[in-house]
Chain A
Amino acid sequence: MNTTTIRGIGLGILGTASVVAVWALIVELGLVSSASLPSPFSVAASLPVLLTDPNFYRSLADTLGAWLAAMVIASVSAIVLGMIIGTVKFLSAPAMVAVNALRSIPSSALIPIAILIFGLGSAMKIAVAVYAVFAIVLINTIYGVAGREPMRVDAARSMRWTWWQQYLHLTLPSATPSIVTGIRLASGISLVVVISTELLGARSGIGITIVQYQQALRVEMAYAAITMVGIVGVILYSVLAAVERATIDRIRLG
C-alpha cells in the first residue's frame, strides 16, 4: 500500500467522522426530536442487537434472494434478446422505440398490478424487479453489440464462422463491457424496487423489518437496519464495479 492510498483512506475516515459528528451535534442540541433522529451512539449500540437477531438475517436473505433471482432472470433474457436484436438489422430501430417507451415507465407503478397478478409472495417482488432490470440491460446489450468493430465482423465472416461461433467469440465479448455497466446500473435500482414492494405489501423481507421497527417506535433499530442495508448495497456495488473494471481490462488486453 502506498502513501496515496493510506492518505485517501485516512481522509475518507475523517470525512465520515465529521458527518457523524454533525449528526451527533444536531441530536445533542435538540434540533430535531430524538423520536425521529436517534443519536449515532444509540444506533451504534443497537447494531450488535440487530446482528445477533436471526430474524434480521432471514429477512435480509429473503430480500437479497429475490434481488438475485430478478437480476439473473432479467440479465440472461435481456442479453440473449439484445444480442439477437443488435445483430438483426431490421429489428434494431423498432426495438429501440419499444424499449425506450418501456424504459420510461416507472417500474414502481407496476407494483399494484403485480400484487394483483402474482399475490404477495416472492414471485411478485421478482416480477417487478425483472421489469426494472430488463430494459436497462437490454439497451446496454444492444449498444454493446452495435459497437462491435466492423473489421472483426468482416474477419469472422471471411473465416466462415458459424452463427454460434460469431455470437460466442465476437458479439458477446464485444458487448460485455457495456452489458456489465448495464447490470451495475440496474442492480441498485432493482434493490430499491424490491424493498419498495416489501413496503407496499410483500409478506417478508428487510423492508418489512424496517417498517416493524418504525411502528414499534424502536427508531434506532430502524436506523441500524438501514445502515446494514446500505453497507450491503456498498458491497454489492463495489463487487460489480470491480467485475466491470476487470472485464473491461480483459477485453482491452485480449
Chain B
Amino acid sequence: MAELAQTLNPAVAAPEVAPAVAALTSRPTLSAGRMLRRFASRAWLLVALLIVWEVIARLSPTVFFPPFTVVIGQFASDWFTPDPTTFFLSENFYNAVPISLWRLARGWGLAVILGVSIGFLLGRSPVVRLLYSPIIRFWMSVPNAALLPIAIQFFGVSEAVTIFLICFGSMWLIAINTADGVSGVDQDWLRTARSLHLPRRTLYTRVILPAASPHILAGLRISVGFALILMIVAELYATTAGLGHDVALYQQTFRYKQMWSAFVLIALLGIGINVAFDLVETRLLRWQRRAGLASL
C-alpha cells in the first residue's frame, strides 16, 4: 500500500515550494529601510531580466516583440482608466477578467469538491483504491488538451467547455493527493481516536482532515496552476469572450502591443493566484514545523 501510495503521488516535491514565500511573508515587522534593502536584495535579478528584455527588444527590428516599457504603457491604457467610479479599471478589464475568473472558479471549485470526495473514498478504503486507481491514473495521464475537440462535440462552443476542461484536468490530481494524505494518516492517531470513541464526524473533521491537509493543499496548489493553463487553452481554442479569447483576437488582428499587454495581465493574475494560495497555505499549515529549506 505504501509503495502504491508513493507511485501514485505526483506531488512529492510540491510542499517544499511554499516555504520560500512563507519565509518572505511571515517575518516580524521590519523597519522601512531594511524592508527596502531586503526587497532590493531579492528582486534585482527579476529587474535585470526585464532590462534584458527591454534591450533585446529595442535592438531587434521585429514588431512581434515590443520592448517592456512599451508593453507596460499599453498595459496601463488597456486595462485602467482615470475613472474612480469603476475602481480605475477599464471597460476592457470588466469585459474579460470577471468572465475568465468566474469560469476558473466554477471549474476548479467543482474539481476541488469532486477530487477531495473521491480522494477520501480512495484513501479510506484500500479495496476502492485498488479498484479505481488504474482508471484514475489513465485519466490523469490523458493530456487533457486532447479532450478539447470532444468537449466541443459535447457542449458546443459554450462556457461549459472551459469549465469541463478545467474540472476534468484538475480533479484527478486533487483526488490522488487527497487519497495519499488520507491513507497516510498516522495509524496511532486513528487507534487513539477509536479508543476515545470519537464520533465519525469528529474523526473526519478533527483528525483525518487536518492530518491530510498538507497533501491536499499540495494537490490543490499544483492543480490551480494547471487549471490556469487549461483555462487559457480552452479560451484560445473556442470561446467568444475572456482573456484567452482577447489574446487570440489581438494576435489575429495584428494588434501585437495589445496582445502583450493582455499577456502581462494574465501573468499578473497567475502570480496573484499563487501568492494568495501561499498566504492561505501558510495560515492553514502554521501548525506544521517547517524544515530547513524554508530559509530559501
Return chain B residues, CB-CB under 8 Å to A233: 138, 141-143
Q: Which residue of A lies closest to B222 (CB)?
A: A185
| Residue A199 lies at the interface, judged by CB distance under 8 Å to chain B | yes
When distances are taken between beta carbons in the complex, the residues of chain B under 8 Å from A12 are: 130-131, 133-134
A113-B64 in contact (CB<8A)? yes
As a 0/1 sequence over residues 122 to 156 of chain A, the CB contacts with chain B under 8 angstroms (1 = contact) are 00000000001000000110110011000000000
Instruction: Indicate whether A237 reaches chain B with its CB closer than 8 angstroms.
Output: yes
> DSSP class of B's interface residues: helix, strand, loop or mixed?
helix
**Smallest CB gap from A96: residue in B:** B20
User: B138 contacts A93, CB within 8 Å?
Assistant: no
**Interface stretch (choices B11-19, B177-185, B209-217):** B11-19
Interface bits A204-229 vs B (CB < 8 Å: 1, else 0): 00110011011100010011011001
Other-chain contact of B228, A14, A100, A106, A199 (Cβ < 8 Å): A106
Given the complex, which residues of A lie within 8 Å of B42, measured CB to CB?
93-94, 97
Using A12-B131, A97-B46 as known contacts, say yes or no to A104 and B296 having CB atoms under 8 A apart: no
Docked complex Cα distance between A140 and B133 (Å): 27
The residue in chain B whose Cβ has the minimal distance to the Cβ of A140 is B13
**Which residues of B in the span 218-261 have a Cβ within 8 Å of any Cβ on A?**
222, 225-226, 228-233, 236-237, 244, 247-248, 250-251, 256, 259-260
Which of chain B's residues have a CB closer than 8 A to the CB of A189? 226, 229
Out of B150, B231, B267, name the residue touching A226 (CB < 8 Å): B150
Q: Identify B263's interface contact among A18, A113, A213, CB under 8 A.
A: A113
Interface string of B125-154 (1 = CB under 8 A from A): 001001111110111111111111110111
Pick the residue among B16, B141, B244 that contacts A143 (CB under 8 A).
Answer: B16
In the complex, how many angstroms separate the beta carbon of B244 from the nearest chain A beta carbon?
A: 7
Q: How far is the CA of A15 from the CA of B160 in the complex (A)?
A: 28
- The contact of B229 among A139, A193, A211, by CB within 8 Å, is A193
Contacts A12-B131, A91-B45, A94-B43 given; indicate if A109 touches B143 (C-beta within 8 A): no
Q: Is B21 close to A, CB under 8 A?
A: yes
Cβ–Cβ contact B237 & A94, under 8 A: no
A183 to chain B, nearest CB (A): 11
User: What's the Cα separation between A213 and B222 when bound, in Å?
Assistant: 32
**A181/B64 in contact, CB under 8 A:** no
Task: Given A192-B144, A233-B143, answer yes or no on A104-B270 (Cβ-Cβ < 8 Å).
Answer: yes
Q: Which of B14-40 contact A (CB under 8 A)?
A: 14, 16-17, 20-21
Known: A19-B135, A116-B256. A106 touches B146 (CB 8 A): no
CB distance from A107 to the nearest CB of B (A): 6
B137 engages A234 (CB within 8 Å)? yes
**Segment 8-57 of A: residues with Cβ below 8 Å from B:** 8, 11-16, 18-19, 32, 35-37
Contact present for A196 and B131 (CB under 8 Å): no
**Contact call A98/B49, Cβ cutoff below 8 A:** yes
What separation, in Å, do the CA atoms of A200 and B256 have in the docked complex?
Answer: 17
B263 contact set on A, CB distance < 8 A: 109-110, 113
The answer on a CB contact under 8 Å between A210 and B149 is: yes
User: CB < 8 Å: which of A14, A112, A117 contacts B248?
Assistant: A112
Residues of B within 8 A of A35 (CB): 153
A191 within 8 A of B: yes
Told that A106-B229, A142-B296, A185-B222 touch, could you supply 11 new A-B pairs with CB distance under 8 A? Answer: A8-B4, A12-B131, A94-B45, A97-B42, A103-B225, A109-B266, A140-B13, A143-B17, A181-B12, A230-B141, A233-B143
Closest 9 pairs (CB-CB, A-B): A15-B131, A233-B141, A94-B45, A230-B142, A214-B149, A104-B270, A11-B130, A112-B251, A196-B145
